[in-house]
Amino acid sequence: MNIYENIWFFGRNTSNFTSTNQLFLNNPLIELWRFEVVYNFTFETSVSSLNFIINQPPYNGSCSMNPSNGTTSTLFTIECPNWFDEDDVKDYSLYIWTTDQRERMMIAFSSVSTFQVYLPAGLSHTIMYIRDTLDCTAEFNMSSINVTTDFDTINDLINNIQNSANNPLINILLSGNQNLVGQVIVSVSQQFNQMNNESIDNAVS
């Protein structure tokens, strides 16, 4: 382990020993760890140790999506059966991305292993995160999925908005006043962003 000194852990001969998570991530098969401290005095040596177990992620399961393709109006069913964890599985989160996995976006989360989602248009890569009650997470890559835009449904929505005269926000959108329309869009977007942030907070808490 000396070759990893000042890479995975620091201060081995000091009172401020520090270990990075890479020490554990690069040794996933090791569950039981011991940190030992040796105190050398003039006439005696004292040893103190700390034993601990690294929490393991959920395992033994799989995830699938049905149907494999659809439109923006398709209700996709996610099934993640047979996941097991000694600490119990806490929740399941679905993320998608297009070209860069670092820009993945959370679509949904659920405390049950089978749930349904709507997906945005485009070719998306999908990945599930399965988390236990101690927040240790397993990843499961699913097949890419191609979702096309359902223009009929969108046009129906636009027609319904245009034919609605009772909602004051819709009246503003139909007024043609760019300033007012922009203000309404910003206001509604803020509400959607707040709802999305609350959903994300619930998913990661």
d(CA 178, CA 184): 10
The highest-confidence range among 25-34, 42-51, 60-69, 162-171, by mean pLDDT, is 60-69
Q: Which domain holds residue 24?
A: 2-53
pLDDT of residue 204: 65
Q: What is the structure's pLDDT at 205?
A: 65
Contact of 153 with 72, CB cutoff 8 Å: yes
Do 48 and 121 lie in one domain? The reply is: no
pLDDT for position 183: 67
**pLDDT tens per residue, range 129-147:** 999 999 999 999 999 999 9
Place of tokens 């206001």: 187
3-state secondary structure of 44: coil
Considering the domain architecture, whether residues 36 and 10 belong to the same structural domain is answered as: yes
In a domain? residue 139:
yes
Q: Which of 127, 164, 169 is nearest to 145 (CA)?
A: 127
Same-domain pairing of 74 and 29: no
Residue 125 scores a pLDDT above 70: yes
Q: Which position has the higher pLDDT, 148 or 165?
A: 148
Is the entire prediction scored with pTM above 0.75?
no
Any domain includes 93: yes
Does 80 share its domain with 141?
yes
Q: What is the pLDDT of residue 165?
A: 62
Instruction: Look at 114 and 37; give whichever has higher pLDDT.
Output: 114
Domain count, the chain: 3
